[in-house]
């Protein structure tokens, strides 16, 4: 076949033959993009559960549409009829393109491994402490490895140029001074990077942890090399430097478990029958699926001048369910008191006898 191509190339003008080789390589890419890859994606999408094939197609379809035509063109390059200068330029372009493609392939391999671990450690299940711990480490390691791959790729591309190697040799004498300058300039960035290592392996926070930070309630959405994104309950995003979680205090509601106690405070008159409220709370909790059946307490926790403070304590599997259950109990208990003991709602007492006594004293003085 190579002999036939060589004979065909001799019968065509140089520019026409070179154009034919380029178009032939591009045609292979078009076939992959428009026919083969969509077909494979359709087959993979039919799979409802995790599949290595589906993950491979998802991450490698785009790069394969570039890599395979490039590989074909590189294999046909020896039989092209470029002049010497053009051949050197084209060869260098292909070399750099291969370096970039392999870098992207390595990054996609990391994504492939990440998909496998995400499937193995499912974060959607109820008790997901171990899964969130492992996912936090996976995300940080993946981002760190991608950064290293990018740095090495840029270095390899620069070193592939002869002029760059000469410049690099000349700059070696200034590496010591340059390292000190860069160290001072990047002090905060390096501190954030080291804080990222500490968080990834000591884990004061993990992916999907519920936090109260800067007075906001939210979940950890992203842990990057230098910053953390917290998704606030009202869909805002709080972005904090990663060393914030090393240097400053914050609340982590899911540090060891997602279970949490919910409280509801009710302020009533002293005359209310507490035992009736206790029975009502028990019946409300038993009828609600958000309650996990562990903690059910109603106590008088304080007495003030005009009101009595009653605390309802209940347990839930996570903070989101605790919030919903607290709202439900608060609404139902107030409605129950209004219907059954309306005279026991918080009120201000005025004694008529006290006013009569004051009136009599005023008459005597007059």
Q: Report, as an integer, the average pLDDT of 282-295.
A: 92
Specify the higher pLDDT residue, 170 or 65: 65
Which tokens is 356 given? 């009569």
Cα separation, 222 vs 209, whole angstroms: 11
Q: How confident is the model at residue 172 (pLDDT cuts 50, 70, 90)?
A: very low
Alpha-carbon span 75 to 84, nearest angstrom: 18
3-state secondary structure 69-122: HHHHHHHHHHHCCCCHHHHHHHHHHHHHHHHHHHHHHHHHHHHHHHHHHHHHCC
Model confidence at 297, pLDDT cuts 50, 70, 90, reads very high
Mean of the pLDDT values across residues 340-357? Answer: 69
- Residue 66: Cβ-neighbour burial (10 angstroms; 0-12, 13-18, 19+): middle
- For residue 171, the model assigns a pLDDT of 45
Identity of the highest mean pLDDT range in 3-17, 69-83, 105-119: 105-119
Q: Identify the residue with better confidence: 46 or 110.
A: 110
Residue 70's pLDDT band (cuts 50, 70, 90):
confident
Q: What is the mean pLDDT of residues 1-16?
A: 59
pLDDT at 76: 72
CA-to-CA distance for 238 and 41, rounded, in angstroms?
36
pLDDT band at 86 (very low <50, low <70, confident <90, very high): confident
Closest CA to 118 of 211, 194, 54, 62: 54
Residues 300/353, Cβ–Cβ less than 8 Å? no
Query: Which residue in this structure is represented by tokens 């760190």?
Result: 144
Predicted confidence band at 185 (pLDDT cuts at 50, 70, 90)? very low
Q: What local confidence, expressed as pLDDT, does residue 43 receive?
A: 63
Q: pLDDT at position 342, please? A: 87
Q: Tell me, what's the pLDDT at 173?
A: 47
User: Phi and psi at residue 248, in whole multiples of 5°?
Assistant: -120, 150
pLDDT of residue 72: 76
296 pLDDT tier (thresholds 50, 70, 90): very high
Using one digit for the tens of pLDDT, what is the confidence trace for 125-165?
666 667 777 887 788 888 888 888 888 888 888 777 776 65
Find all residues with CB under 8 Å of 104, minimum gap 6, and list them.
63
C-alpha–C-alpha distance, residues 336 and 277, integer Å: 9
196-223 per-position pLDDT tens digit: 777 777 778 888 888 999 989 899 988 8
Q: What are the helix (H) ranges across 204-273?
A: 244-247
Residues above pLDDT 70, as percent of the chain: 72
pLDDT at 99 over 50: yes
pTM above 0.85, yes or no: no
Which domains are present in the chain? 2-120 (no CATH), 140-254 (2.30.30.60), 260-344 (3.30.70.100)
Both tokens assigned to 76: 């046909």
Look at residue 168 and tell me whether its pLDDT is greater than 60: no
Average pLDDT, rounded, for the chain: 78
From CA 147, how far away is CA 143, in angstroms rounded?
6
């Amino acid at each position: 076949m190579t002999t036939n191509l060589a004979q065909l190339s001799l019968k065509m003008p140089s520019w026409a033959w070179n154009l034919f080789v380029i178009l032939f390589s591009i045609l292979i890419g078009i076939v992959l993009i428009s026919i083969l890859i969509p077909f494979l994606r359709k087959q993979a999408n039919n799979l409802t559960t995790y599949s290595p094939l589906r993950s491979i197609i998802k991450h490698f379809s785009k790069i394969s549409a570039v890599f395979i035509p490039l590989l074909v063109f590189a294999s046909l390059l020896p039989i092209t009829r470029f002049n010497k200068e053009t051949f050197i330029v084209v060869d260098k372009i292909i070399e750099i393109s291969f370096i970039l493609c392999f870098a992207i392939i390595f990054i996609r391999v990391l994504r492939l491994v990440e998909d496998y671990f995400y499937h193995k450690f499912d974060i959607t299940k109820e008790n997901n402490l171990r899964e969130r711990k492992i996912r936090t480490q996976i995300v940080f390691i993946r981002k760190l490895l991608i950064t290293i791959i990018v740095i090495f790729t840029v270095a390899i591309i620069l070193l592939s140029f002869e002029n760059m190697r000469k410049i690099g040799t000349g700059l070696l004498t200034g590496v010591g001074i340059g390292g000190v300058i860069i160290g001072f300039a990047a002090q905060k960035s390096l501190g954030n990077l080291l804080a990222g290592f500490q968080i990834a392996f000591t884990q004061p926070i993990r992916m999907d942890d519920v936090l109260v930070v800067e007075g906001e309630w939210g979940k950890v959405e992203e842990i990057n090399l230098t910053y953390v994104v917290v998704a606030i309950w009202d869909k805002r995003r709080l972005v904090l430097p990663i060393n914030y979680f090393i240097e400053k205090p914050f609340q982590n509601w899911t540090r060891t478990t997602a279970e949490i106690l919910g409280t509801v405070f009710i302020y009533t008159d002293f005359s209310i029958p507490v035992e009736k409220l206790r029975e009502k709370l028990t019946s409300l909790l038993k009828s609600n699926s958000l309650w996990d059946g562990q903690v059910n307490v109603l106590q008088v926790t304080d007495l003030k001048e005009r009101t009595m403070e009653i605390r309802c304590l209940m347990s839930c599997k996570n903070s989101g369910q605790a919030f919903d259950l607290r709202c439900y109990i608060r609404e139902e208990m107030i409605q129950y008191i209004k219907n059954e003991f309306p005279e026991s709602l918080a009120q201000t007492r005025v004694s008529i006898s006290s006013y009569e006594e004051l009136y009599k004293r005023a008459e005597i003085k007059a």
